[in-house]
Structure 1
């Protein structure tokens, strides 16, 4: 049974490569990048093990603990549950739950992230090459760490999947967990500043790393990586205690995953029904035209569909991130919050048709024109987006007291919003890729979605940056040469944003009209 699940996983992975040339290229580039990162880490571990094995072991404990924590947390809020082998698809086959659980766990090791983590764990064991007898122990500890990664990730996401079907719980949990996740990057970026100004010496840093590593090694995240270090120090009792922590963690995770899987197979998660609506909502407020109808439908989605609203959760955190990145003060770095909001909001409709799922057939059956479809979707987020951009931009100007840069900030903000809407109107009509289906948990990750999303959105963002170069250049000139260029930036941002937005709606509309049957076929193929 385990071999069958592994073969099925590998077959599905091979089929993913055949779906699209660009998707295959994206996978290859991602694998090359992962191999480069893994190779660099292994070389660093080998070099560190040759000069200072003790410090290297402590660093491995810290990095390994972060890796396991990332495996547990990131899939929930960034990628979701990997539904390549959705357990609910095997309900009718009568597979014993324990065998199903074992097969899913083995298949998790053969995924690209799983294989990369296994390779990294085995490679990091070479840090103990000066003591060859410890290398096998380090390999075993690394493989136990990978088991914690895979089983912990699946257990946590399976447990939370039905809980997050409730919109209230989902939004609260998303905010609670998103805040520390988003703050990790800015917090890490401030660490070098303590060394640059000489406030922390090398010896103090070494002591700090040692203390934190010792604490981490007593947690399920650092214990598997610390077994080899304990044996290297001759602390056999400590090594046994860390091994016991790992085995106990795996046992608990396995039991939790088993019970959560049993519950999900009997009562699969379904979207909760919303409350009874009153009136026609946005359809009663917008013009009774094709464009108005599309805009009303899109606005309804933005308010009621968690798949849309969750994508905007990071926006309120942007000022906090910029304040932390600026050293905890209201620095001028806060002025980029307006352009960032414009950029994010402008590109949010790049997967709108994919999110429609089978409801896109309504647009086809009613003969909605491509221009009306593109314009309605852009209007739904563009108008409230413009209001948000102005609010964030003006507040950042007031807080930093840089009214002289107001034309620059507003110009770049409006420009990024308009260019993003125009490019997204084209991208969503040309690139259809798997997304979370309506009514499903936002934690799920459809088969082949990660790389297809990266390729489509990566190309789109490159086009956004290329079209934004004129007002970005004048923005730089404003700061470097003369504030007069700020008014040029404002004019260019508004004009280029409006022109690209209109042009994107027209070009996307023509492609929509030309490819409507193919688009519908692609959308239905993902049903």
Structure 2
């Protein structure tokens, strides 16, 4: 049974990659990146063995703890880490729970991250071979460390995806928990200013991690290398107990989800209430606008793109709090526009097979482009305006505001213009409606990152006149030039937007059926 499920895992993954050549390319690039990281890690572990045992132990425990934390925190960003073997799809099969647990754990180990982690952990033998007792202990510590990371990841994914039992609460928890993760960097930077971060401090942190569940499995071979037998025995007990606890938590959560699988239910709507559809003109562009705006207001997959709005000013404040805070926060609006302007780059992907209904009505491509852009702008434009005005309202310097608005709306409009073409050209695998909005399909992370970078680069080039004029006006505090930057941003950004809508509309008229075919293929994967 376990072998059958593992074969199924690779068959599903192969089918997913076979349906999309670009997804296969992304998967291969991800695998090559993993191999590069793995080669570097193995080389470092080999050289580490020629030093002293204390240094080797500190490095392995510190890095190993970070790896384990990465596995544990990953599901908070992407529920159901491995989308190729979803337990929810196995509910209908009479698979014993214990065998299912073993199969899912091995499937996690056999993925690219699991294989990289496993081989890197085995590479610690190249370090500990210089201390025979530690090498023997590592034969037990390596599987403990790898299984703890994988099982903890599965347990957290299973527990987090079932929080509360209500769909809204699950979705909100998945989105909101992402906020402290983004703020972790600035928070650490802020705390670090309170004390000197030096080698002694790092060693203290590593010694503490060695006694925690995330570091104990990596630490007890190091204690044996230095002759600390009682400490090694205690840390081994912590490691074994950690694996047993996370295994039981995962087993209980998975058993509950198999007996009572999640179900989605439609909310009741009073007769005659059709939401935004009753408030817009009865025209194709108006209907697309109403539907898209409904998505933006209610769909967590869209709302997650707005998380950066309060976070970017917070990040700027963290790094500029001892300097000119007002001047630094003045650039929050262009950054917000830069990030959320890309929101429409593959908007049709979120429609799923519902896109067929739009094609059946014969909506023209330009009307679709206009409706989707207006819906996104109805959310983004007020946000950018508020973020732009707030710093000047608090710290003054109103003469710089027009230039910042010119940069912000120039970038925003240019990004929408570029996205009007890209979203009519390709679709990507995205989480289903009601699923975790941060889920990722194998092979798509690299491609999405590449798409983001390409669209941002094109948008920056097209809006560069407004950026250059606005930046000069901002740093020279030239009020006249600032107003010129506003005009340049609106004109240049508006021209790119109109051009993108026309080009993207004509392209969508030609590619609509092909996009629908790809959407259906992805849904059946």
Shared fold by TM > 0.5? yes
Q: Secondary structure at the match of 1:270?
A: coil
Task: State the shift of 1:221 in Å.
Answer: 0.9
Residue-by-residue CA offset, 1:134-170 (whole Å, 9 max, x unaligned): 2453464243222122111111111222326635523
Task: State the shift of 1:437 in Å.
Answer: 1.3
Contiguous gaps of at least 5 residues in structure 2 = none
2:305–2:340 Cα contact (<8 Å) kept: no
1:79–1:450 Cα contact (<8 Å) kept: no
Q: Name the structure 1 match of 2:368.
A: 373
Task: State the shift of 1:448 in Å.
Answer: 4.7
Task: State the shift of 1:467 in Å.
Answer: 2.6
Task: State the shift of 1:216 in Å.
Answer: 1.4
Aligned equivalents of 1:307, 1:176: Cα separation in 2: 13
Q: Name the structure 2 match of 1:339.
A: 334
Q: Name the structure 2 match of 1:3.
A: 3
1:312 is aligned, of 306, 309, 333, to 306
Distance 1:12 1:453, change over 3 A: farther
Q: Secondary structure at the match of 2:433?
A: coil
Q: Secondary structure at the match of 2:199?
A: helix
Task: State the shift of 1:370 in Å.
Answer: 0.8
Distance 1:81 1:32, change over 3 A: closer
1:302 is aligned, of 291, 296, 304, to 296
Aligned equivalents of 2:493, 2:208: Cα separation in 1: 52
Aligned equivalents of 1:161, 1:129: Cα separation in 2: 42
Residue-by-residue CA offset, 1:368-405 (whole Å, 9 max, x unaligned): 11111111011001133111101001112334434343
2:319 is aligned, of 318, 325, 331, to 325
Q: Name the structure 2 match of 1:250.
A: 243
Q: Name the structure 1 match of 2:201.
A: 208
Q: Name the structure 2 match of 1:523.
A: 519
Distance 1:271 1:396, change over 3 A: farther
Distance 1:94 1:322, change over 3 A: same
Q: Residue 507 in 1 paired to residue 503 in 2? A: yes
Q: Name the structure 1 match of 2:88.
A: 88
Matches within 5 A, 1:474-489: 474-478=469-473, 483=478, 486-489=482-485
Q: Bigger CA drift: 363-372 or 280-289?
A: 280-289
Aligned equivalents of 2:455, 2:168: Cα separation in 1: 33
Aligned equivalents of 1:443, 1:500: Cα separation in 2: 30
Distance 1:20 1:523, change over 3 A: closer
Task: State the shift of 1:299 in Å.
Answer: 0.9
Task: State the shift of 1:456 in Å.
Answer: 3.7
Distance 1:507 1:307, change over 3 A: same
1:109–1:150 Cα contact (<8 Å) kept: yes
Q: Bigger CA drift: 396-405 or 332-341?
A: 396-405
Distance 1:267 1:448, change over 3 A: farther
2:334–2:408 Cα contact (<8 Å) kept: yes
1:53–1:127 Cα contact (<8 Å) kept: no
So what's the TM-score if we normalise by structure 2?
0.90
Task: State the shift of 1:361 in Å.
Answer: 1.3
1:421–1:501 Cα contact (<8 Å) kept: yes
Aligned equivalents of 1:461, 1:80: Cα separation in 2: 29
Task: State the shift of 1:47 in Å.
Answer: 4.3
Q: Name the structure 2 match of 1:34.
A: 34
2:406–2:486 Cα contact (<8 Å) kept: yes
Residue-by-residue CA offset, 1:165-201 (whole Å, 9 max, x unaligned): 635523653465223211222245568878xxxx73x
Residue-by-residue CA offset, 1:250-294 (whole Å, 9 max, x unaligned): 112222222222222222212243243572221122111111111
Contiguous gaps of at least 5 residues in structure 1 = none
Q: Name the structure 1 match of 2:356.
A: 361
Q: Residue 289 in 1 paired to residue 294 in 2? A: no
Residue-by-residue CA offset, 1:83-107 (whole Å, 9 max, x unaligned): 2111233333322121111111111
Q: Bigger CA drift: 320-329 or 381-390?
A: 320-329
Residue-by-residue CA offset, 1:312-354 (whole Å, 9 max, x unaligned): 2232222222211224663533222211221232211223211
Aligned equivalents of 2:82, 2:381: Cα separation in 1: 35
Distance 1:3 1:463, change over 3 A: farther
Matches within 5 A, 1:70-219: 70-78=70-78, 80-128=80-128, 130-131=130-131, 133-138=133-138, 140-163=140-163, 166-170=166-170, 173-174=173-174, 177-188=177-188, 200=196, 205-219=198-212
Matches within 5 A, 1:58-77: 58-77=58-77
2:6–2:107 Cα contact (<8 Å) kept: yes
Q: CA RMSD in A?
A: 2.8
Aligned equivalents of 1:456, 1:20: Cα separation in 2: 16
1:422–1:502 Cα contact (<8 Å) kept: yes
2:26–2:445 Cα contact (<8 Å) kept: no
